[in-house]
Amino acid sequence: MDFRHTMKGRRALSAVAITAGLLLTVAGCGGGDDDKSEGAPSSSPAQSNSDDGKEESQAPPSDTVLAEVKGEGGVTLTISSAKRDEGGFVTVEGTVTNATGKAWSVGNWRGDERELAKNGGSMAGASLVDETGRKKYLVLRDTEGRCLCTRFTGGLSQGESTQWFAQFPAPPTDTTKVSFQVGAMPPASIELTEGE
């Protein structure tokens, strides 16, 4: 019994540390983000919320696949995790693979809202749809309009895969299934799990 409570406490502290790290990363991203090279191919992996050109470390990919959709001429989007966190948000994670046969700019995934234009090629235009509650949840943003999501600096080269994440407001606790949608990709039905 004590071991179980210790592990639960460690998991809670880990979740708090990860959330704090994400918030500090978002807060540390400054202006000067014209993202003029959005359509240019890049040989480096996509970077998440980083303007300093340094590649951020990412967790190893999960073997779990909640959903996988293909579209946009050969792009594959895989969702490996959709966890409801105690802070009142849902974090969705996965991988995206470019099998289009050419460099892919990811530009249409940023969304149509004017506020999202500074996010460049990113997951900023993603949404969760609660069909039962008839409500759509957009990606969370900071006060300057930067999404709490992955930015794909320079797009994806042909054959490249990279991890991504996006955070959303949490649907009501009785909502367990939602649809994830981004760009022109088909919707992906996923089941929400409770964070630990």
SS3 164: strand
Question: How many structural domains is the chain composed of?
Answer: 1
CB within 8 Å of 146: residues ≥ 6 apart: 26, 29, 49, 118, 119
Q: In the structure, what pLDDT confidence band is assigned to residue 87 with cuts at 50, 70 and 90?
A: confident
Better-predicted residue by pLDDT, 29 or 45: 29
Neighbours of 49 (CB within 10 A): 20
Could you tell me if 168 and 138 are in contact, meaning their C-beta atoms sit under 8 angstroms apart? yes
pLDDT tier at 15, thresholds 50, 70, 90: low
Higher pLDDT, 184 or 52: 184
Range of the domain at 154: 2-194
Q: How confident is the model at residue 156 (pLDDT cuts 50, 70, 90)?
A: confident
pLDDT band at 194 (very low <50, low <70, confident <90, very high): confident
Is the distance from CB of 111 to CB of 127 less than 8 angstroms? Answer: no
Dihedral of alpha carbons 164, 165, 171, 177, sign: positive
What is the percentage of the chain residues whose pLDDT exceeds 90?
Answer: 37
Give the per-residue pLDDT at 12.
52
Measured distance CA(37)–CA(191) in Å, rounded:
36
